[in-house]
Amino acid sequence: MEFKNEYLGEFYQDEEYEKAQLLWLWYDYHTEVFDRSLWSARDETAVTLTTPLAHSESNRNAMKIREYMYEVARRYNISSSAMHKAKTDGYRNACKMQNRMDTYLALDRLEEFNFINGQ
């Protein structure tokens, strides 16, 4: 652990972890947008799929997006442990989905996700 983080209480993460966080934010946004297009009910927390077909389509889409996300992670040498740490991060899990979507859109305007498509 970094000295500043351990002794001064400052938050510090490296570029690998930051990219992993961006990848999970990208994943959350794209899966949520797709899920909202299916037969579902939703609130500010998340989408609730209401039919077996919607569940199947959602899972198929999520798998496709996750495979691409991990392909990008490998391209940038982002370790599976960094991806797992970002996936299980307390902020990600405590945040309402609409807040994550808004954050994605704000960061997308700043072109923070260009690395995902190799731009």
The tens digit of pLDDT for each residue in 63-102 reads: 999 999 999 999 999 999 999 999 998 777 777 888 889 9
Residue among 28, 36, 87, 27 nearest 57 (CA) = 36
Does residue 74 contact residue 82 with C-beta atoms inside 8 Å?
Answer: no
When pLDDT is averaged across residues 2-18 and rounded to a whole number, the result is: 62
- pLDDT per residue over 16-67, tens digit each? 999 999 999 999 999 999 988 886 666 656 667 778 888 899 999 999 999 9
- 2-7: long-range contacts at Cβ-Cβ below 8 A with a sequence spacing of 24 or more? none
- pLDDT score of 118 more than 90: no
Query: How many angstroms separate the CA atoms of 79 and 57, rounded?
Result: 29
